[in-house]
Structure 1
Amino acid sequence: MPVGTDETMGVSNGSALLEEQQETSADKKTISQLLGIIHKPRCQGAAEVSATFSTLQQIKLKLSACLDSIRGWFSEYRQLAHFFSLLCFLLVIVTLLQTFCLVQITFLFQSQSTLQETKLRDLTNRLEKLNQSYHLLFSQYPALNQYCPVSNSTTGERACRPCPADWTPQGEKCFLFSQDRADWMSSQYRCMALGGAVATVRTEEEQVFLWKKAQSLSQGDSYWLGLRSGGSDGSWQWSDGSPVEKGPEFRLHEPDNRDSRELCGRITPGDDYRRSWYISRCSNQLRRICERRQATLQ
């Protein structure tokens, strides 16, 4: 029993010893690995650090380049944004100016249109009043129809002139060459009935006009003038009572006052207007020339 016990204890002690040795060996191996890691060659660690640093540098450079690119793009974007803002501002200013101009033009046009309408209304009212006065005037004074005959029967428009119908203007006078014949006194009455008198000749222009007109109308016939021998001494007078001037340049043939009969002057067209005055008995039947002053608005 005891021997067995001793053997068993020896075996037990040997196993424990073997386990301790194995544990010690494992510990030593572990310590050796740790020491290997700790005492790893410095040159290998420096290379890895250098590679890592180089990578970091590259990353930094790329990041820097990217940031520079972003900054440049952002700067260009800011310039474009600034330009676009300025353009928008200018467009707004131009639009406002155009709107202001359109408003001013519209206002001016409306003002002018209103003013024109007011003027047109005023002129229309004045025209109506003038038409009323116009018709009233011709209804009260029918003699005006001689100077302003109706030229358009549809519209009632009149054409006014300084001389009545069939009278010819010359200077400040109107002359009428008759077609019928009468003695001198009847001719005077007939001219007076028309608002005039038998023609008097005061200027050379009147003499030339009457001579040419008589030539074109009478074909050689004579016309009574306003000449008459009515003085006690046989002197010649015009129909208005004024004496005949002596020696006008346009009259070379003086009326003869040696005849005691009642004589009157006439104009007979010939080759020379200065030799166209002649005398005849006042009872002869001749055409006549009537005269009257031209009408004026004064």
Structure 2
Amino acid sequence: MQLFRENAVKGSLKTTVTTQEIAVVQLTLVSQSQSALQENKLRGLRIGLEKLNQSYQLLFSQYPSLNQYCPISNATTGERECSPCLPGWTPQGQKCFLFSQDRADWISSQYHCMALGGVMAIIRTEEEQEFLWEKAQSLSQGDSYWVGLRSSGADGGWQWSDGSLLEKGPQFWARDPDNAGESREDLCGRLTPRVVYSRSWFTFRCSNKLRTICERKQASLT
């Protein structure tokens, strides 16, 4: 009887050991399978990333102007930082503004802005006016800047550099330009930050030389 019990215990132990071994093997196989699956996923991600990087580089080679809006910010990683405005231009609303420090007459200043893909500043809102006034004040120590205002003639009104009429928008004259006591011929508008922003427009002979504010639309990065 005792011998029978010993044999039964041994058989039970063998069965237990065999079951444990099978469980270990199964866990090992599952682990290996998961590792292989993860490795395949990682390999797929690497391939996808390489293709994406190739497309990314191709995009910048096909459209060189993108380099202006998205210059490389980290030479080691090649990381780029994009902006809706070109370097040197300041974003505000849906526009980019450039405060040129070169002095020129109004016509030459307009050509300069056009050569840069824009026009002389057209002020449509009080928010734009205050922004330009503050920026001009910080850059010029009170010196005046040309904006895109010009008299349309002795009997006409004032218009912006894109041909639109001033009378359809807000105005920030220091005094009424129609009662300035001077001929309306060859008169243009300047912004002078030495006074309050709401009364900082003055008439000035277009042949005089001042700094200039240019504007252009922001680039869409979406």
Do the two structures share a fold, i.e. TM-score over 0.5? yes
State the partner residue of 2:158: 236
Q: 2:37 aligns with which of 86, 111, 116?
A: 111
The 2-side partners of 1:198 and 1:216 are apart by 19
- Give the root-mean-square deviation of aligned CA atoms: 2.8
Q: Which protein is richer in strand relative to its size?
A: 2
**Partner SS, residue 43 of structure 2:** helix
Q: 1:261 offset after TM fit, Å?
A: 2.5
**Quick one: which amino acid aligns to residue 285 of structure 1?**
K
Question: Shift in Å at residue 230 of structure 1?
Answer: 1.0
1:217 is paired with a residue of what secondary structure? helix
Provide the TM-score with structure 2 as the length reference. 0.84
CA apart distance, 1:81: 4.8
For residues 29-178 of structure 1, what are the structure 2 equivalents within 5 Å? 74=2, 78=5, 81-138=7-64, 143-151=65-73, 158-178=80-100
Deviation at 1:119, TM superposition (A): 2.9
Contact 1:220 1:269 in 2 (8 A): yes
Give the unaligned 5+ runs of structure 2: none
Asked whether the 8 Å contact 2:150–2:189 carries over to 1, the reply is: yes
Structure 1 residue 84 displacement after superposition: 4.8
SS of equivalent to 1:177: strand
Shift of the 85–238 alpha-carbon distance from structure 1 to 2, 3 Å rule, reads same
Q: Which runs of 5+ in 1 are unaligned?
A: 1-70
Select the residue among 198, 202, 206 that pairs with 1:274: 198
Q: Who is 1:289 aligned against? A: 213
Do the aligned partners of 2:130 and 2:197 also contact (CA within 8 Å) in 1? yes
Q: For the residues of structure 2 that align with 1:133 and 1:211, how far apart are their CA atoms?
A: 39
Is residue 256 of structure 1 aligned with residue 177 of structure 2? yes
Select the residue among 101, 106, 109 that pairs with 1:187. 109
Distance change in 2, residues 1:157/1:108 (3 Å): closer
TM-score (norm 1): 0.64
CA distance in 1, matches of 2:159, 2:18: 94
CA distance in 1, matches of 2:156, 2:211: 24
State the identity %.
50
Q: Which has the higher helix share?
A: 1
Larger-Rg structure: 1
Q: How many residues align?
A: 219
Partner of 1:135: helix, strand, or coil? helix
2-side partners of 1:207 and 1:231: how far apart?
Answer: 25
Please tell me whether the aligned partners of residues 149 and 160 of structure 2 are also in contact (alpha carbons under 8 angstroms): yes
The answer to which of 285-294 and 93-102 deviates more is 93-102
Moved more, 275-284 or 85-94: 85-94
